[in-house]
Amino acid sequence: MEAPCMNKLKQKEFTLASVTDLTSPSSSSPSSSPVVATFSCVNEVTELRFQESESSDDFSFELSSTQLFKLGPLQFVCVSDKDNSLSRGVVIMFRDDKESKDFSDSFGEWTKDAFKKGPGLPNGTVSDSTSKFDNKIEAASAKMYFHYYGKLLHQQNMLQDYVRTGTYHAAVMENRSDFSGRVVVDVGAGSGILSMFAALAGAKHVYAVEASEMADYARKLIAGNPLLAERITVIKGKIEDVELPEKADVLISEPMGTLLVNERMLETYVIARDRFLSPNGKMFPTVGRIHMAPFADEFLFIEMANKALFWQQQNYYGVDLTPLYGSAHQGYFPVVDAFDPRLLIAPSMFHVIDFTKMKEEQFYEIDVPLKFTASVCTRVHGLACWFDVLFDGSTVQRWFTTAPGAPTTHWYQIRCVLSQPIHVMAGQEITGRLHLVAHSAQSYTINLTLSAKMWRPGASQGGILQTSSCKLDLKEPYYRMSQPQVYPVAQEPPAQPQDLQIQSEDLEEVELLQQNANAQL
């Protein structure tokens, strides 16, 4: 007997052109009669059932253990590996694109239903179903991520970022009315510092959810503050998996990474919003903005180019490295450092991410059109980025920024260096695109393109004079320095030793100055 599924999806059928069972020798060729694929829910188990119209034989896959891979416009392979037994797979073929797309969309909807959690899970336990987090993040990346944040040294590094910690403390304490007597969920609690801030502000109860081993340290730290401990419960587990006994009035978290989105924790933050936050609840932080501006930095460009010169050696211990020079020249890393804001050659623009409205899926791909007006005549070497977030409290609105020129944080800023610089005149328009694509290693692939439009003659036709681009992995940045480097107002490429010519008159002038100085002494 069928029971209603948790999200009330109706049973859906698709007539397939053919089905080939990859695990049955007797079915090595496609079925000759039409096969019907049916999505249904039987005894609270969502499944995909295949049945030939002229046969009583059928088989089914439980969707909680099934994956779908697209081989072509009309062809898919469906694989199930329930209970760690031998996998079973079928190749399915559709008659047209519409049926193929409808099937793929339905599979996504029904699979999402298969991973929903049932009622009655005790507080803090984790569902046996495969985690939504585990489905989109590769295991090796997750293991390294939670190992890193499970170490006290790294938590100390963040706690000692006094700009970060002090801003959070001020945002909470200045808005006590948002916390006093309220239920709070700390998303990715780490050491539990934000949970204790919420308790200090009068929270009724705080649920500190932390997936790494740091949860054990957080329990110990909170227990050492007994006036706060009775109102804080530490739950070890992922936000995607745990169940809480009540809805939250406030979510607090520090989910920001490099370029705001690195580590993909913002997705977890909005999942917590959808799962636990009551209507009209507060989120601290509330809004994030990614700021962008083109920059000119001859020193950085030469430094990055020189790294690739290593691969131009034709006799490196008897080995010719030049076959990899082309790949190395294109394999720049995004640069993380604190830079002088005078390197920016145009006013910045920003892209807004509203944590109260953004859907999880919208983080998978972020596309930002770029448009700037150059303020100086120079060579543009890339795009500089930083972020800020708003704590939209009922009493005080407080911004936290990682901008160049502001007090330095452990995020610094990030710069994407173009493969080749582009030349611009003062007043010239620079256009482009910043395209971020999420990947399973908890980060993003950065695709950047910048173009300079024609200047004066021909500008009315709107043609593009120069274009340069780069493709970078945000997960693998180059940490260049910890403090801003002092640059002159106008930069020139460093002179090579052979270019330095000392004139005899210069030497005579130096000697004369030294004699005058000695005479004064």
Q: Which residues are catalytic?
A: 254, 263
215 neighbors 234 (Cβ within 8 angstroms) = yes
Element holding 188 (H helix, E strand): none
Q: Which of 484, 510, 489, 264 is nearest to 376 (CA)?
A: 489
Pair 310, 328: CB distance under 8 Å: yes
Any bridge partners for residue 337, and if so which?
Answer: 413
Distance between start and end Cα atoms, the chain: 105
> Could you tell me which residues are beta bridge partners of residue 398?
391
- Measured CA to CA in angstroms, residue 286 lies from 13, 281, 335, 364 at distances of 42, 11, 28, 20
Q: What is d(CA 154, CA 148) in angstroms, rounded to the nearest whole number?
A: 7
Sheet with 45-52, strands from edge to edge, namely: 12-16, 35-42, 45-52, 58-62
CA-angle at 435, arms to 429 and 436, nearest 5°: 145
Name the amino acid, one letter, at 405. Answer: G
Per the CB < 8 A criterion, the answer to whether 115 and 132 are in contact is: yes
Q: Which of 144, 132, 239 has the alpha carbon at shortest distance from 186? A: 239
Whether the bond into 285 is cis, omega within 30 of 0 = yes
Residue 484: is it exposed, middle or buried by C-beta count within 10 angstroms (0-12/13-18/19+)?
A: middle
Given a contact cutoff of 8 angstroms between Cβ atoms, the answer to whether 450 and 468 are in contact is yes
- What residues contact residue 508 under an 8 Å CB cut-off, 6+ apart? none
Spell out the alpha helix ranges (H) of 6-138.
97-114, 132-136
The amino acid occupying position 494 is P
Using the Cα atoms of residue 488, residue 491, residue 494 and residue 498 in order, give the sign of their dihedral. negative
